[in-house]
């Protein structure tokens, strides 16, 4: 037997069909997460500037997957430039074949990822065109900051708006915009929660000390300005 020949016991194991079946099963378990990191399909819907719906194969049929574009954030639909941002995403991706590199799943159950149409990085293109901000809280690709600075310097897209209207969604939903639906202080009834919170006239997320207090003000006091994106979850940074 040569110095580098495998021991007889290993040769016997390799020749055992049960051992090979187990090894194949382990290999599939290890590679499954890698195989599931990309989705490919047709973009059949655009909800807003950073959310699309992808129609992907599902066995013998198809299924729709809601995709939140990762690392970027576009204006909410009711914000200045919100509808323009949605139109920009539609121009780039709607009714086209796309590939999504999956990064995560958000608390709404949406797939979070980087979308590509051909060789075009859709997420980066939205920032480059001034239709989106680089989302600092979840940023991994630092090159998006350079694209944002470039768009800002060239006054592209939302960067052509007056400064007062260029408010990132994560600030806009935190008291940066006063909504007409916010109840005036005088009309809010005196109320106290079991946690000791009272309707004391607070209106903005920056005034909240906890998620529980924000929820109390939204549901009990009717302060709708805490829920900028109308998802029934107040103050995203506190209640994420």
Mean pLDDT of 205-224: 79
Q: Determine how many CB atoms are found less than 10 A away from the CB of residue 78.
A: 13
List the catalytic residue out of 76, 125, 148, 236.
Answer: 76
Grade residue 195 by pLDDT with cuts at 50, 70 and 90: low
Is there a catalytic annotation at residue 114?
no
Give the Cα-Cα-Cα angle 44, 48, 51 (nearest 5 degrees). Answer: 60
Reported as a single tens digit per residue, the pLDDT across 165-192 is 888 888 876 544 433 333 333 333 344 4
Position 16 pLDDT exceeds 60: yes
> pLDDT value at position 208?
80
> pLDDT value at position 149?
97
Is there a catalytic annotation at residue 68?
yes
Mean pLDDT of 16-37: 62
DSSP secondary structure, 75-140, as one string? --TTSTTHHHHHHHHHHHHTTSEEEEEEEEE-TTS-EEEEEEETTEEHHHHHHHTTS-EE-GGG--
Which among 151, 40, 35 has a CA at the least distance from the CA of 88?
A: 151
What's the CA gap between 235 and 210, in Å, rounded? 9
End-to-end, the C-alpha distance of the chain in Å comes to 64
Which residue has better confidence, 37 or 229? 37
Grade residue 8 by pLDDT with cuts at 50, 70 and 90: low
Reported as a single tens digit per residue, the pLDDT across 120-157 is 999 999 999 999 999 998 999 999 999 999 999 999 99
What's the CA gap between 97 and 52, in Å, rounded? 12
Which residue has better confidence, 89 or 166? 89
Which among 51, 146, 153 has a CA at the least distance from the CA of 100?
A: 51
> pLDDT value at position 194?
46
What's the CA gap between 169 and 46, in Å, rounded? 18
List the catalytic residue out of 84, 99, 110, 156.
Answer: 110
Rg, the chain, Cα only: 25
What's the CA gap between 148 and 133, in Å, rounded? 6
Is there a catalytic annotation at residue 99?
no
């Amino acid at each position: 037997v040569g110095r580098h020949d495998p021991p007889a016991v290993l040769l016997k194991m390799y020749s055992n069909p049960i051992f090979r079946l187990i090894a194949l099963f382990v290999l599939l378990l290890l590679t499954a997460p890698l195989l599931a990191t990309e989705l490919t399909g047709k973009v059949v819907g655009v909800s807003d500037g950073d959310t699309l719906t992808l129609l992907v194969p599902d066995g013998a049929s198809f299924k729709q997957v809601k995709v939140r574009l990762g690392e970027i954030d576009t204006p909410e639909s009711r914000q200045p430039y919100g509808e323009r941002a949605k139109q920009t995403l539609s121009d780039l991706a709607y009714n086209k074949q796309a590939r999504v590199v999956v990064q995560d799943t958000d608390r709404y159950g949406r797939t979070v990822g980087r979308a590509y149409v051909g060789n075009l990085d859709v997420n980066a293109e939205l920032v480059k065109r001034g239709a989106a901000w680089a989302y600092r809280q979840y940023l991994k690709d630092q090159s998006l900051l350079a694209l944002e600075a470039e768009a800002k310097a060239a006054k592209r897209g939302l960067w052509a708006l007056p400064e007062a209207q260029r408010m990132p969604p994560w600030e806009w939903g935190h008291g940066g915009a006063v909504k007409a639906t916010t109840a005036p202080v005088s009309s809010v009834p005196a109320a106290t929660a079991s946690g000791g919170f009272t309707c004391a006239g607070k209106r903005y997320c920056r005034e909240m000390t906890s998620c529980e207090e924000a929820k109390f003000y939204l549901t009990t006091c009717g302060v709708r300005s805490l829920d900028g994106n109308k998802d029934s979850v107040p103050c995203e940074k506190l209640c994420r």
